[in-house]
Structure 1
Amino acid sequence: MSDKKIRWFTVSMIAFSMVWGFGNVVNNYAQQGISVVVSWILIMLLYFIPYALIVGQLGSTFKNSSGGVSSWVKETTGKRKVAYYAAWTYWVVHITYLAQKPQSVLIALGWVFRGNGAVATNMSVQIVALISLVIFLLFLFLSTKGLTTLKVIGSVAGSGMLIMSILFIILAVAVPTMDPSFKMATPDMGNLKTYIPKFDLGYFATISMLVFAVGGAEKISPYVNAIDHPTKNFPKAMIFMATMIGISAVLGSVAMGMLFNSNNIPEDLMANGAYSAFQILGNHLGVGNFLMIVYGLAQTVVQSSALAFSIDAPLKILLSDADPEFVPQWLRKRNRKGTLVNGYLLTGILVSIIIILPIAGIKSMSILVQWLTNLNSIVMPMRYIWVFFAYMMLNLQIKKFHSEYKFIKNPKLGFAVGFWCFAFTILACILGMLPKINYAADPSSWLFQLISNIATPIILILLGTILPMIAKKEQQQLN
């Protein structure tokens, strides 16, 4: 084996750390309760494993492509405009993601310094929106100066968060043996029926959160050809990674069920659940708030780093090698330091609108967190659609391309699997648009969420159709 090759186990661990986080457990438990255990098993088998192996074949086929998904689309369709829309989608879905990060930082700091979730339960939406806007604009300004140190610290803290996620499962399972007074919060956890979901419209409206949780596998594509014997070992690495994620998801959800009653889930669980969980465990283990504070500090750094990185990296992917035919010169403009000034300005305007928007229709901070998390689960998976589209196009002309690793050798079956993932992602996004709150309890908030859930992804995508029109007019003036 060459010294340059990476062992399949190493690739599996890299992929696991890229895709997985404790927040995925908390958010999905908040929506489905203990029945999410079965949902995790189904999503792993029917969606995530094919998704990861599809990424493997695309990464292996286009190993020299630097543009990621947009390069795959360009190579498989031969159409630069379609590749532009793929690149635009990859960038624009980060707008809602960026809008949530300042709130996450604010909640984490509240737990660290106050020891409770008062930020997410007591602060008004207006104050939170204004503070979040200030935090975002500060990071936007700092991103133009470069934040290499924060990104490095963030990657270290990210590893710490992964350790904390695993530690949570171990501690939760161990608590009943260490503290005789501990009682399961969810009744009948030993009964199989407790874990069976009720497959109704309300259930299917939550699957976008599961898709959002297991998304991002395209980040592992650069490692496909770096692995030793990719044809044999890449599937092994991905299946092992999916198994680890599945075990973490199932055991993490069971642990959440031990601490929070699945039949009476707190309204603020998405905002405060992770911190409350570590606080409860710390109290049972006799270490007080220690675990919660460690988690809160790590979360503060990770969310800050994610905010900085997600302003900078997607923008560079969109604009660094942008096609002048579709992206106007003013958006590609750089200052003397090479900063994409108007790109940062556009990001600032769009994210600021999403941050301020809840003032018009959200009445509580906990509902705000739920709405923004759900909005992300609708918008972010739109970028995964292009992965499956590229894979479908690849299978239509499979003889044209060479790949060391093939997920499915039969192109018709490969196309069918790609179409399944493609259609499932779109369906999950559409169903996810249904508000998760009771209409009767708060009609105005329900209506606000429905309109914003439908309008936001449509507007973000339509914005991408305007740029080529401006670029065409610009080119005509230059000629």
Structure 2
Amino acid sequence: MKSNDKKILWYSLAFMAFSAVWGFGNVINGFSEYNGLKAIVSWVLIFAIYFVPYSLMVGEMGSAFKHAGGGVSSWIQETIGPRMAYMAGWTYWVVHMPYISQKPSGALIAGSWAVFRDNRVSSMNTMLMQFLCLVIFIVAIYASSKGIGVLKKMGTLAGTAMFVMSLLFILMMLAAPAITGASLTKIDWSVKTFMPTFDAKFFLNLSILVFAVGGCEKISPYVNKMKNPAKDFAKGMIALAVMVTVCAILGTVALGMMFDSNNIPADLMTNGAYYAFQKLGEYYKVGDLFVVLYALTNLISQLSVLILSIDAPLRMLLDSADETYIPKAMLKQNKNGTYVNGMKLVFVIVAILIVVPAFGISSVDVLVRWLVKLNSVCMPLRYLWVFVAYVALKKAGDKFSSEYYFVKNRTLGMALGGWCFIFTAFACILGIYSEDTFQLVLNIITPFILIGLGLIMPAIARRTNKK
């Protein structure tokens, strides 16, 4: 590698990580579940006690294992061994199944707003909605198996546009009173407006905050491409934390100018982003221009992310699969390089996740909220392996050298890794709870079945690979 390739500056890394970690949907979810403006303190707390140490640990592991291309599973392979590396890789892949099952409904909601420009999707029959979601998913499976790249490129553009529109929304909303003279919801700037109540609801929704700020391990490969990793990575991550915190705060304030924190719409998770852009268009007297642009952009983004999420995690699991743990049949590929049997397994799991909820959830708004909650329970399970790897790295002492260290003290490093592991597990366990029995049962059995499949796969491999 040429020396001039290692020239990523700290602020460049911060912007790269920002677009990978943060999204406008996080602001909506926080506002909905943490009583409007009270979400601000919740965001600040989660960034300070969890996100900052998490991101800095990722930097140290990215630097220590600079030649490991498999991400978290490679870190586990180096520090613990192949069996745990397989489970880390399996977990990373399988938690995408609830995520994939959520994308068709997101596309349907976006499409409905793009065409009708109202919230009629909330009154749709859930059986019909999930049937349409299944059709969309089948089309996505077919497209993914053909290796279609055009939509993936469009998705990158749509994702960038979504990111830009989210930032523009915050700026235009905060400027609206001065520019347009719009009459907005008055905010009481007293402490009681912003201070959350640390009750059961606060802790039961922690998984949504953890889910929102996770995923920064994606940027670990760039640590050793920085101009000065030892100093600049920490600066980049601190800058990232500041940027995300500012966006969370300003985004929440912007929503507080539109929606009364004491009377939050029940369908905010379903339609909140569209309401926001629709109202913004009204303030600036451009009609439904903003909401249609956002809906179309989100539609393309949801579909492309759906196709990418079917294909990319599966390749990460199987491209370097150890046949000790993965049946050879899973490695069968078609002429497009698609793992045929892997795709079939994805289809079975996701189809079940799409169909089953329709038999016990009768409201689209409740369904959307449940899907967010289920993802907030399942997706952070992959973060647990990040902290397992960090504890193992610190336990190994001087065995692995790094250009960047979060902390050099072995005991302190293990304690911080353990803290983040316990906090993540605590949030996931509490996130399972639901007052609705049907949703509670699904929340319990889904992660157990998904992880359990990974435990029985090596036994299947032992029996079938010999044949």
Q: TM-score, normalised by structure 1?
A: 0.95
* Alignment partner, residue 252 of structure 2: 253
Matched ranges for 1:10-409 at <5 A: 10-32=12-34, 33-77=36-80, 79-119=81-121, 121-184=122-185, 187-188=187-188, 190-409=189-408
Q: After TM superposition, give the deviation of residue 122 of structure 1 in Å.
A: 1.2
* Alignment partner, residue 428 of structure 1: 427
- CA deviations over 1:54-82 (Å, ceiling 9, x no partner): 000110011111111001001011x2111
* Whole-Å separation in 2 of the counterparts to 1:316 and 1:289: 40
- CA deviations over 1:408-440 (Å, ceiling 9, x no partner): 0101101101001000000000111122xxx4x
Seen in structure 2, the aligned counterparts of structure 1 residues 348 and 192 have a Cα distance that, compared at 3 Å, is same
- CA deviations over 1:302-352 (Å, ceiling 9, x no partner): 111110110000000111111101001111112344321000000000000
* Whole-Å separation in 1 of the counterparts to 2:148 and 2:68: 26
| 8 A contact 1:175–1:182 mirrored in 2 | no
Q: Structure 1 stretch 166-175 or stretch 37-46: which is displaced more?
A: 166-175
* Whole-Å separation in 2 of the counterparts to 1:313 and 1:303: 15
| In the alignment, structure 1 residue 472 sits paired with structure 2 residue 459 | no
- CA deviations over 1:194-239 (Å, ceiling 9, x no partner): 1111101111011100000001000000110011110010000110
* Whole-Å separation in 2 of the counterparts to 1:320 and 1:59: 20
* Alignment partner, residue 443 of structure 1: none
Q: 2:447 corresponds to which letter in structure 1?
A: P
Q: 1:381 corresponds to which letter in structure 2?
A: P
**SS, match of residue 224 in structure 2:** coil
* Whole-Å separation in 2 of the counterparts to 1:334 and 1:153: 26
Seen in structure 2, the aligned counterparts of structure 1 residues 412 and 171 have a Cα distance that, compared at 3 Å, is same
**SS, match of residue 3 in structure 1:** helix
Q: After TM superposition, give the deviation of residue 181 of structure 1 in Å.
A: 4.5
* Whole-Å separation in 1 of the counterparts to 2:422 and 2:205: 16
Q: 1:142 corresponds to which letter in structure 2?
A: A
Structure 1, unmatched stretches of 5+, are 440-445
Q: 1:173 corresponds to which letter in structure 2?
A: L
Q: Structure 1 stretch 158-167 or stretch 86-95: which is displaced more?
A: 158-167
Number of positions where the alignment pairs a residue of Structure 1 with one of Structure 2 = 464
Q: 1:432 corresponds to which letter in structure 2?
A: G
Q: After TM superposition, give the deviation of residue 178 of structure 1 in Å.
A: 2.8
| 8 A contact 1:140–1:308 mirrored in 2 | yes
| In the alignment, structure 1 residue 455 sits paired with structure 2 residue 445 | yes
**SS, match of residue 267 in structure 1:** coil
**SS, match of residue 99 in structure 1:** helix
Q: After TM superposition, give the deviation of residue 13 of structure 1 in Å.
A: 0.6
* Whole-Å separation in 1 of the counterparts to 2:134 and 2:350: 9
Q: 1:35 corresponds to which letter in structure 2?
A: K
Q: After TM superposition, give the deviation of residue 2 of structure 1 in Å.
A: 4.2
* Whole-Å separation in 2 of the counterparts to 1:175 and 1:337: 50
* Whole-Å separation in 1 of the counterparts to 2:191 and 2:353: 42
* Whole-Å separation in 1 of the counterparts to 2:168 and 2:336: 44
- CA deviations over 1:168-191 (Å, ceiling 9, x no partner): 111111112234341316x52x11
How big is the alpha-carbon RMSD for the aligned residues of Structure 1 and Structure 2? 1.2
* Whole-Å separation in 1 of the counterparts to 2:360 and 2:14: 43
| 8 A contact 1:392–1:419 mirrored in 2 | yes
Q: 2:50 corresponds to which letter in structure 1?
A: Y
Q: TM-score, normalised by structure 2?
A: 0.98
Q: 1:83 corresponds to which letter in structure 2?
A: A
* Whole-Å separation in 1 of the counterparts to 2:403 and 2:180: 53
| 8 A contact 2:59–2:233 mirrored in 1 | yes
* Alignment partner, residue 442 of structure 1: none
* Whole-Å separation in 2 of the counterparts to 1:276 and 1:46: 32
- CA deviations over 1:248-271 (Å, ceiling 9, x no partner): 011101111111111111111001
* Whole-Å separation in 2 of the counterparts to 1:297 and 1:335: 33
| 8 A contact 2:145–2:336 mirrored in 1 | no
Structure 2, unmatched stretches of 5+, are none
Question: How many percent identity over aligned positions?
Answer: 48
- CA deviations over 1:114-168 (Å, ceiling 9, x no partner): 011211x111000000000000010001101112111111111111111111111
| 8 A contact 1:172–1:281 mirrored in 2 | yes
Q: 2:99 corresponds to which letter in structure 1?
A: Y
Q: 1:355 corresponds to which letter in structure 2?
A: I
Q: After TM superposition, give the deviation of residue 193 of structure 1 in Å.
A: 1.5
**SS, match of residue 225 in structure 1:** helix
